[in-house]
Amino acid sequence: MANLDPELRKRVLRKVLNGVFVMTTRQDERYSAALVTFVTQVSIEPPLYAVGVRKDSGLYEILQLSGRAVLHPLAKSQQDLAPAFFKATRVEDGRLNGLPFRIEDGLPVLEPLPWYFVLETEGWHPGGDHAVWIARVTGVGANDVPEAEEEPLCMRDTPWSYGG
């Protein structure tokens, strides 16, 4: 029988490959932008994703209201942009946590990030410290930036660890 020794559990579960994403959402004039890594596609038709969202976050609170978000994978060379989304969301001078953005269909799209897809709520599972958001892909896009030719950034490419 497998054991649940906390250190071994952390080491083993951190072997799961996770991408690095910025998720943005908006409800009226309230914005949220946060780094998320617990993301996986769970259905091809219809295209559904499961996203782990920290329950004690502004993202969770606003996502509960809006029911929609934009998920932006970071390119491998964009690791230096990620720490801006470890912090509370700020909107100043047409920038979201320091990055320029535009509004598409009512949602903030970060212009320097190469790819993005729009998600809409299909359901929630209460989970544990993270709720599991099940969402349908309703749109995809790409920004005309050089990083669009790169591979996406994965947690294993960073000095950070999260999960386990």
Asked if the model's pLDDT at residue 13 lies above 70, the reply is yes
pLDDT value, residue 126: 96
What residue ranges do the domains of the chain occupy? Answer: 9-38+59-118+140-157
Reported as a pLDDT band with limits 50, 70 and 90, residue 163 is low
pLDDT value, residue 121: 98
Asked if the model's pLDDT at residue 14 lies above 70, the reply is yes
What single DSSP character describes residue 145? -
- CA 2 – CA 97 distance, rounded (Å): 42
pLDDT value, residue 164: 58
pLDDT tens-digit readout, 18-63: 899 999 999 999 999 999 999 999 999 999 999 999 999 999 999 9
The third-level CATH classification (topology) of the domain covering 9-38+59-118+140-157 is Pnp Oxidase; Chain A (2.30.110)
pLDDT tens-digit readout, 99-158: 999 999 999 999 999 999 999 999 999 999 999 999 999 999 999 999 999 999 988 888
Work out the burial of residue 64: count CB atoms within 10 Å of its CB; fewer than 13 is exposed, 13-18 middle, 19 or more buried.
Answer: middle
Residue 78's nearest CA partner among 34, 32, 112 is 112
Do 56 and 132 meet the contact criterion of CB atoms below 8 Å apart? no
